[in-house]
């Protein structure tokens, strides 16, 4: 049997959200920073993202990461994050998956009970603390990039829904955040299809009506993900949330394309963005524990360490804690005669088919 274009990966999920970690078969790419490497990868190697995330090797809810040699002298490893419709500058669940894979595979030196790492994400250097017992990475905490609010209580017009009051905040990605109860949406797994439909419409409307740009990196712009929230259903959790990830461009004239997919975890960058909005309203203090419940009732814990600024924008520095679990060791190949080298999508579960 031939094994052409072999890619090796560790499959991990962080509180339910799958974040495949590519450990071999993808070469380093040029760039003086991980963000520059991310741009180069997007421009020249996007076929790898498509191959790994689309069918038959992927599905709409899957994320993927490529381990890269770091450019920062203090970093232990670098990684590029790949999602269905973008290359995020930062992702909390993916950072947890990457750390879990690095620690449990022995790709980095491991010290028990605490292993400290510095990972270089496209957004910058991330300080990570992994709690390890008998070789198992039991939890991951990391200091995220600064989070901040662009809009509080802004009003947007969403087709078939009407006027919706939203917040827009940055937690490593740009989020539009709305109260699910005001949209008559129950944040329950059985209601996932409707949550995903409305969330994707919110995202598209916010991207169009509330343009945003990161103050220090103009390449990080526009709302790309939606978060809906409601009261928590688990003891100890503050808020329940459902984050909707886009699976393709939405066509307002084709209702069948009004579809995203739910983040299965409580969403790491979404938790950080949410903490920034709560802090801006005086509802969350520095050093106060915040427990964020996801659609599967798993929880990420967060805390705001200090105030800072990003350009002329007031911001806060969050720390996030969650857990990841390895569920597979995989090898993927591409036969030269495969008619779908970039994978494929079909509109029964994707926003559009190709």
User: Which residues form the catalytic set?
Assistant: 91
Bridge partners of residue 330, in order along the sequence:
9
Q: Which two structure tokens, joined as six digits, stand for 103?
A: 């620690």
Rg of the chain over Cα atoms, rounded to whole angstroms, equals 19
Q: In the chain, how many H helices and how many E strands?
A: 5, 17
What CA–CA distance (Å, rounded) separates 259 from 181? 20
Q: What share of the chain is helix, strand, coil (3-state, %, to 5)?
A: 20, 40, 40
What CA–CA distance (Å, rounded) separates 155 from 162? 10
What CA–CA distance (Å, rounded) separates 244 from 205? 14
Q: Which two structure tokens, joined as six digits, stand for 90?
A: 């930062």
Q: DSSP letter at 146?
A: P
Our measurement of the distance from residue 279's CA atom to the centroid of its chain's CA atoms, rounded to an integer in Å, reads 21
Instruction: State the SS3 of 165-223.
Output: EEEEEECCCEEEEEECHHHCCCCCHHHHHHHHHHHHHHHHHHHHHCCCECCCCCCCECC
Q: Which two structure tokens, joined as six digits, stand for 87?
A: 């290359």
SS3 (DSSP) at 151? strand
Q: Which two structure tokens, joined as six digits, stand for 152?
A: 């509080």
What CA–CA distance (Å, rounded) separates 268 from 246? 17
Residue 195: other Cβ atoms inside 10 A: 24
């Amino acid at each position: 049997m031939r094994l052409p274009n072999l890619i090796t990966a560790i499959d991990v999920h962080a509180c339910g959200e799958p974040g495949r970690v590519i450990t071999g078969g993808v070469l380093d790419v040029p760039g003086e920073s991980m963000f520059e490497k991310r741009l180069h990868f997007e421009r020249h190697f996007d076929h790898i993202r498509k191959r790994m995330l689309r069918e038959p090797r992927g599905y709409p809810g899957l994320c993927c990461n490529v381990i890269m040699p770091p450019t920062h002298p203090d970093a232990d490893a670098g990684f590029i994050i790949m999602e269905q419709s973008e290359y995020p500058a930062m992702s909390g669940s993916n950072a947890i998956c990457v750390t879990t894979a690095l620690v449990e595979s022995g790709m980095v030196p491991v010290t028990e009970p605490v292993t400290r790492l510095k990972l270089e994400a496209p957004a910058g250097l991330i300080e990570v603390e992994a709690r390890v017992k008998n070789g198992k990475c039991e939890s991951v905490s990391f200091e995220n990039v600064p989070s901040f609010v662009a809009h509080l209580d802004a009003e947007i017009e969403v087709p078939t829904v009407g006027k919706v009051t939203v917040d827009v905040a940055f937690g490593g990605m740009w989020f539009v955040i709305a109260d699910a109860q005001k949209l008559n949406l129950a944040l329950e797994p059985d209601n996932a299809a409707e949550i995903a439909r409305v969330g994707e419409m919110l995202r598209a409307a916010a991207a169009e009506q509330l343009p945003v740009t990161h103050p220090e990196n103009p390449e990080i712009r526009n709302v790309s993900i939606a978060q809906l929230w409601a009261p928590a259903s688990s003891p100890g959790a503050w808020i329940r949330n459902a984050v909707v990830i886009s699976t393709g461009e939405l066509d307002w004239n084709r209702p069948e394309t009004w579809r995203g997919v739910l983040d299965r975890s409580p969403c790491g960058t979404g938790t950080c963005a949410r903490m920034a909005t709560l802090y801006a309203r005086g509802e969350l203090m520095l050093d106060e524990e915040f427990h964020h419940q996801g659609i599967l009732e798993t929880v990420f814990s967060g805390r705001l360490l200090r105030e800072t600024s990003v350009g002329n924008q007031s911001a806060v520095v969050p720390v996030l804690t969650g857990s990841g679990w390895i569920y597979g060791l995989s090898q993927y190949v591409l036969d030269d005669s495969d008619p779908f080298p970039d994978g494929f999508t079909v509109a029964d579960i994707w926003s559009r088919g190709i």
